[in-house]
Amino acid sequence: MKLITSIDIFIQHCEYERGLAEYSLKAYKLDLKQFCIHCYKIKKDISIKEIDRSVIRSYLKYLYSLYKPKSIKRKIASLKSFLSFNEQEDYIEVNPFNKLRLKLEKEKLLPRVISREDLELILKAVYNNYRLKLESHKSISESIRDIAILELLFSSGMRVSELCSLKFEDVDLPSGQVKVSGKGKRERVIPICGKEVLNSLRLYIKEYSPWLERDKSFFLNRDKHGMSTQSVRLLIKKYCYLAGITTNITPHMFRHTVATLLLENGVDIRNIQCLLGHSSLSVTEIYTHVSQSSQREILKNKHPRKEFLKGVNRR
């Protein structure tokens, strides 16, 4: 069996038997396509049975020359899963990873958060854009939608993929909550309590009601189809530009920022875990490091002891 054929069979297995989410499927496809291209440089139309340790070592060398440990680890995980499947299905006799000893030190990168100043500037920009269009009698539909998206991202801490996957029936404003389908198709309910976000969602529903259907996408693009994650990224980029922010701000940074600010305000980490939909508390604990670094900065620059020192120096 050709390698490309075995990859197609594995992707079908992931989609229809394992029921993986679209984001996970996309990652598998990209990683295995990259592996396939590398293997075809070794031998055109290579078969799955010809994938041995020498091929794996060659591919690892290639990855190490291009990527950081975090990316390498993910690509190796995709390849391991693919080869394990082929071993289980008897397409290969032995998984070539079985006796390979790999030690990858994952980089300990703290989540990037949005500063309070930049967050305020972004929100001001989206509301100012709405007012300007209102005053100039231009269409305000997209501005209303943009406000609802940014307010919901910031209030809920949901992933951008979760936001784009929301259905109209998932948004229950009378009860003040949204139902989110997260990683591994785990559902959770997020309370929506802020006056601003509730008002923005009500206004959005009123504006888009002719096109909203119960089991269809909640957030719609200009063609009245579901918003894509890329569209949300471009939306944020637009308002950063209008706000004069040069820092690269991504949708996921809203999630990091919500978690960090909640922790700094004394919210229990287990509540934050539930809000974010983390399967393990250890994933959420990374925000304690962000909070500690923030606290260090506060103690260093804003501790009242500095005022006492000024008084001592004046004597």
Q: Which residues are catalytic?
A: 159, 183, 252, 255, 278, 287
| Contact by Cβ (8 Å): 275, 157 | yes
Contacts of 302 (CB under 8 A, 6+ apart): none
- In terms of Cα–Cα distance, which of 253, 259, 247 is closest to 291? 259
What's the one-letter identity of residue 288?
Answer: T
Residue with tokens 């637009």, as numbered in its chain: 238
| Contact by Cβ (8 Å): 35, 97 | no
Both tokens of 229, joined, read: 């994650």
Both tokens of 110, joined, read: 């703290």
Q: Classify residue 201 as exposed, middle or buried by CB count within 10 Å of its CB (0-12, 13-18, 19+).
A: buried
Q: Strands, E, within the chain: which ranges? A: 171-172, 177-181, 187-191
CA distance 261 to 273: 14
What phi and psi, each to the nearest 5 degrees, are found at residue 225? -105, 165
Report the relative pairing of strands 187-191 and 177-181 from DSSP bridges: antiparallel
| Contact by Cβ (8 Å): 291, 263 | yes
Please name every residue paired with 68 in a beta bridge, in sequence order, or none if there are none: none
